[in-house]
Structure 1
Amino acid sequence: MIPATLEQLEQVRKECRTMVRKRATASAGTTLVPLPGTDVLADVGMLMQLLPAINNKFGLSQKQLDGMDPETKSMIYGFVMSIGSKVIGRMITKELVVQVLKRVGVRVATKSVAKFVPFAGQGLAAALSFTAMRYVGNKHVDDCYEVVKRMIEQRELIPGEPAPSALEEANSDDVKAEVKSVSSNDTDEPANDSKDQ
């Protein structure tokens, strides 16, 4: 489900960044295995799990979007296109993950070569791996955040659509009580005016 408030959205972003940090750390650990290609395969596997998990947390997985009304789905895809994401709302495949990794291709190639430099090479490869995984993950988190933020802002422009927060509901009850109080005073006054006449 898409977060309804900016506070909920911020909480989801924090949770997703924690997920990204854990996966980036695991990615750095895979570079310590001295077999060529194992780190890249591990990165692909991790991203195939991480990217859908992020989509799901933000309410932007393909399955979640398929369940939305056409107007909402169209609005979301418009926001997705405007930020240029190729991952939000799509089925995450190996090919898609490889495309995403190609965007940071220099880092991936560098870490594969650096791994074979004695001593410092593996440390450098681990640092590059961590950085590349964190970059890809956090970029996706930021893209999802931006789409949902725009969605929340759009709902606020259209009266009646946003899900009210507990604070809004409490304020609404206070307003209703004030209106009731004012309206009861209004009905008393005409009665007093008619008595005076």
Structure 2
Amino acid sequence: MPTAIELAQGDPKLIAAIRRSRSLLRRKALIGAAASTIPLPGLDWATDAALLSRLVPLISAEFGLSLTQLEKLGPQRREGVQKAAAAVGALLVGKLITRELLLALAKRVGVRMTAKQATKYVPMAGQAVSALLGYAALSTLGEQHIKDCVRVAIAARHLLPPPIDSDTKLTNNDK
């Protein structure tokens, strides 16, 4: 299976977006791993869900594919991006993160999440294993979303707006 960098086919803008996204992903996965060490039932699941609900839109925004960025496009351009997302099977591109979407993501890494719950109650070593599994699960989900964003960006390249910095606003010419 190709990496996100390989999928980018040498495009410097996509590679830069991948690197920024991976940096965000590493920081959030470390937070999730830390929460996994605390032996309170459900705390790590709640933390992972909260982290994902914030992380996915941030990653999407790096590629110009967040819900707010897509809403600013004209109807034809927006529909083209949505078709590209559907064609590559991108589950979260341009979508509002709902409970149902989070459950669908949890199913993708269900075995790791179940193992994480079981190991966290073994003193010390179990908490370390739980943290590693938590980091791996969140990293896997985030990396899959990055790959989905790259595939959509390539499939709909001529349709996408440039990624928006938090300080930058779209002008009427960009719509």
Deviation at 1:6, TM superposition (A): 2.5
Return the letter of the residue paired with 2:86.
M
* Residue in structure 2 matched with residue 148 of structure 1 by the alignment: 153
Asked if residue 100 in structure 1 is aligned to residue 116 in structure 2, the reply is no
Count of residue pairs the alignment pairs up: 152
Aligned counterparts of 1:66 and 1:9: Cα–Cα separation in 2: 21
Instruction: Give the structure 1 partner of residue 23 of structure 2.
Output: 18
After superposing on structure 2, the runs of 4+ consecutive aligned residues of structure 1 that deviate more than 4 Å are none
Partner of 2:125: 120
CA distance in 1, matches of 2:137, 2:23: 16
Per the alignment, in what secondary structure is the counterpart of residue 17 of structure 1? helix
Give the C-alpha shift of residue 129 in structure 1.
Answer: 0.3
CA distance in 2, matches of 1:113, 1:142: 30
Structure showing greater Rg? 1
12-21 or 75-84: which moved more? 75-84
Give 1:72's match in structure 2, choosing from 52, 73, 77.
Answer: 77
Q: What amino acid is the match of 2:16?
A: Q
Match of 1:90 in 2: 95
TM-score (ref. length: structure 2): 0.80
- Indicate if the aligned counterparts of 2:38 and 2:127 stay in contact, CA closer than 8 A: no
The structural deviation recorded for 1:113 is 0.6
Deviation at 1:44, TM superposition (A): 0.4
The equivalent residue for 1:139 is: 144
Give distance in 2, aligned partners of 1:6 and 1:17. Answer: 16
- The answer as to 2:61 corresponding to 1:63 is no
- Paired residue secondary structure (1:35): coil
Cα RMSD after superposing both structures: 2.0
Q: Give the C-alpha shift of residue 71 in structure 1.
A: 2.5
Contact 1:48 1:94 in 2 (8 A): no
Q: Is the 1:6–1:149 Cα contact (8 Å) retained in structure 2?
A: no
- Residue type of the alignment partner of 2:95: R
Out of 32, 35, 42, the residue aligned to residue 37 of structure 1 is 42
- Deviation digits for residues 81-138 of structure 1 (CA, Å, limit 9, x no counterpart): 1121221111112332122112111111110011112332111111100000000011
Please, which runs of 5 or more residues in structure 1 have no aligned partner?
156-161, 164-197
2:32 counterpart of 1:27: yes
Higher relative contact order (CA 8 A, sep 6+): 2
